[in-house]
Amino acid sequence: MLASCWQLAAGHLYWSMVFGGWYYLKLDMNKQNIDYSLYLVTDRGLARGRSTLDIVTAAVSGGVTCVQLREKNCPTLEFIGQALAIKNFLKAREVPLIINDRLDVALAAAADGVHLGQNDMPLEMARRIAGRSMLIGISAESVQDAVAAEEGGADYLGVSPIYATPTKSDTAPPLGLKGLREVRKRVKIPLVAIGGLNESNAAEVIRQGADGVAVVSAIVAADDPGTSAINLKQIIDEARNP
């Protein structure tokens, strides 16, 4: 068995073969109250020399409601250090931190969740290790992916790609708005749309049933990430409440 879990008043106590002993994960977020409306995915390659923490700070000040830390070519120790620094900033603002791919980093940094792709750790295995308290998001590239993830206990879905995007080269063909609508019809858990989204098309994905808009370059590569976040949040809020 990879992990055992005992629920305590404010968190979970785990025995894990992965970490070789006991560790305690404190719960900071109520999973039912997560606001996915403006979901930032970081990418240091697009940051134009600015630190990830600086980007996150500006973006959250502008209205970002959820942050996914994505590091594809980063040593584990550095990844954990970044996660801890960003978690410290976000915690006081009640903005959840999601770690891309790496459940070990998410647990080490006491992040609020982990986001897994179709080729990452299986959802069932991740849930056994992380317990019920941690958010687990799953990338869904088809209606079948979405249905399977919901049935498997995912907390939310990253539906992708809606449009073609240069920030990821290993994606499935774009789903488009029609594909997003089909996913919305089949699942009830929150949907975060991602892939080629920006100020010009964010409103439409909300109108088609997405609970949130995930962006990378629209904020990370912007001249002013804070202003870009302000503009996107306004567009999303107006689409939700026409």
Active site (catalytic) residues:
70, 139, 168
Whether 240 and 224 have beta carbons less than 8 Å apart is answered as no
